[in-house]
Amino acid sequence: MSDTDSDDQHRDHNQHDGVVPILPPNAPQVKHNGFTRWLGRSILRLGGWRVMGSFPNIPRLVMIGAPHSSNWDAVWAFAAKVAMGLDVRILVKDSVFRIPGLGWMCRRLGMMPVDRSAPAGVIEQAAALIRDQERFWYGLAPEGTRKRVERWKTGFWKIAKAAEVPILGIYLHYPERVIGVGPLFHPTDDMAADIAAIRKWYLPWEGKHHGTQ
């Protein structure tokens, strides 16, 4: 299910400045801004964090991040996103965007409104966004909470399956302060087996307060 061979052919894109890698050409990217790139790198350096691994050279995928055990996860993840100029989109309930001043900030951070009451449902809305865009990386935390959970939410798998795109695993390993990039996982027709295999891959990585098992 995992696909490491397809990533190997893109290793030449994975130049690294010691803090974050250079993104491959097909990864969605925001317009270059020297200040925000510097700010993101500075936050990572101050915290002692770095991004390790190769990002796949493909235009559409579902990105998952785990273990999620602390509000600090968002700080390091957004710093890495800004430092690389990576355009990862996150769906947030549309009511948040109606709060004065907050909607603008959410959009700047790559968040998009989703109507939870729509007949199509959140999964189909997310899958349609991925299918309809030339480049679209959709990100979410499969645990759905900062607490340790026995079961992951299945939405990420259903979205990837509906959009016919692979899943990219990203981990935050606090003992070494590494944000790591994993191989691509291609959904099969066996959701339970796929999620079990992905969770097994996450076993070595430890969040601030717990791992994924």
Of the candidates 26, 21, 54, 42, the residue with the CA atom closest to the CA atom of residue 184: 54
Q: Which residue has the higher pLDDT, 171 or 110?
A: 171
- Indicate if the pLDDT at residue 213 is higher than 80: no
Kindly list the domain boundaries of the chain, sorted by start residue.
2-201
pLDDT per residue as tens digits for the range 20-39: 999 999 999 999 999 999 99
- Render 39-105 in DSSP notation, one character per residue: HHHHHHHHHT-EEES---S-SEEEEEEE---STHHHHHHHHHHHHHTB-EEEEEEGGGGGSTTHHHH
- Indicate if the pLDDT at residue 114 is higher than 50: yes
> What does the DSSP 8-state code read for residue 212?
-
CA 40, 43, 45, 50 torsion-angle sign: negative
Confidence (pTM): 0.85
Dump strand ranges (E) for 94-199: 111-114, 136-140, 167-173, 178-185
Q: What pLDDT score was predicted for residue 105?
A: 64
